[in-house]
Amino acid sequence: MIKHQYQCVSRQRGSVLTISLIFLLLLTIIGATTMQSTTIQERMAGNMRDVNIALQGAESGLRAGETVLQGATVGPFNGTYGNYTPAASDGTPRWEDGTTSWQTVTETLPYVSVQPQYIIEDLAPLPDPKGSLAADAPVSEIHFYRVTARAGGLNNSTEVILQTNYRR
């Protein structure tokens, strides 16, 4: 009986070892792929956080510009304190013009690379559709302003620009 067991052992050729190594290789490939996917998802979450911080900063800039417009007087629109006419002399929008002087928000926000800034543009007034139709009454006008705000995120490569129109 001992001879019979010995003969069975001598017939084995190591197929279990080969199959085990193949399974180990497959598990290693699956693990490496999972780690790569996790790293990409981590980067995406970080970028989304960065954009969200920049968006909140730009919202802060819009609110600061609207607060200026809620004051008793507005202007002058001569390029001081972030107040401008709608377009530069060559027709370039103010927010794209490199010479525009942006007004920085006075409240300092943490975590942003560039503090929120804004500009206010005085758009052409329009006749008030609810105004008087009397021939002897002057036509009342509605003034519109465009507030453009920008802010950076956690790093310098992220920037969000928002605009709103304000009626006064």
* Dihedral over alpha carbons 78, 107, 154, 65 (to 10 degrees): -40
In 92-157, which ranges are E strands? 103-104, 117-122, 126-127, 141-142, 144-152
Q: Model pTM?
A: 0.73
Residue spans per domain, the chain: 52-167
pLDDT reported for residue 7? 55
Instruction: Decide: helix, strand or coil at residue 144.
Output: strand
pLDDT reported for residue 125? 83
pLDDT reported for residue 2? 54
- The pLDDT tens digits along the chain (168 residues) read 555 555 555 566 778 888 899 999 999 999 998 888 888 898 888 889 999 999 999 999 999 999 999 988 887 888 788 888 877 667 778 888 777 889 888 888 888 888 999 999 888 788 888 877 777 878 788 888 999 999 998 888 899 999 999 988
CA distance 23 to 28: 9
* Sequence-separated contacts (24+) of 163-168 with Cβ below 8 Å: 163/95, 164/62, 164/66, 165/123, 166/65, 166/66, 166/69, 167/142, 167/143, 168/69, 168/74, 168/142, 168/143, 168/144
pLDDT reported for residue 112? 86
CA distance 121 to 143: 11
